[in-house]
């Protein structure tokens, strides 16, 4: 993400707008969604930072189903905290994958992101 995100609520897609590598253009940086170009087994990883005394519950979603979840907790911290989630999933041509805030749990504070502490989303095909 190229900037801090402070306006997220429950059940919202987290948009990672700064793209370094996007072979084939299958990640949409405006919508925050990866569309699978082929069937295969993929690894996805996402890292989110949270502010001191902040927290965020997030999920990785394949189509409309949560495939993994993560909690970043900065409560009681003197500075930023971060957490990384990793999933390996089999997806099909045209499936969509994205990161969202949890549908029922609130977001406590902003998600910071800059070049020295980048909140990020990554994915690659294993086979």
pLDDT digits (tens, 9 = 90+) for 85-125: 999 999 999 999 999 999 998 889 899 998 888 999 999 99
pLDDT in tens, 47-82: 999 999 999 999 999 999 999 999 999 988 888 999
- For residue 56, the model assigns a pLDDT of 95
Between strands 27-28 and 96-101, the pairing is unpaired
Q: Is 96 exposed, middle or buried (0-12, 13-18, 19+ CB in 10 A)?
A: middle
23-125 is a CATH 2.60.120.40 domain: yes
Average pLDDT for 3-25 = 94
Beta strands in the chain (DSSP E): 27-28, 33-35, 40-50, 55-62, 65-73, 81-91, 96-101, 120-125
pTM of the predicted protein model: 0.94
DSSP assigned state of 69: E
**CA 40 – CA 118 distance, rounded (Å):** 28
């Amino acid at each position: 993400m190229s900037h801090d995100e402070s306006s997220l609520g429950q059940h919202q897609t987290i948009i990672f707008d700064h793209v370094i590598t996007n072979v084939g253009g299958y990640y949409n940086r405006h919508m925050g969604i990866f569309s699978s170009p082929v069937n295969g087994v993929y690894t996805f990883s996402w890292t989110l930072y949270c502010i001191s005394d902040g927290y965020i519950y997030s999920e990785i979603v394949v189509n409309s189903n949560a495939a993994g979840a993560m909690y970043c907790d900065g409560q009681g911290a003197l500075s930023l905290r971060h957490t990384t989630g990793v999933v390996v999933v089999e997806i099909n041509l045209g499936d969509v994958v994205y990161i969202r805030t949890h549908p029922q749990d609130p977001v406590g504070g902003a998600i910071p992101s800059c070049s020295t502490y980048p909140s990020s989303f990554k994915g690659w095909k294993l086979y």
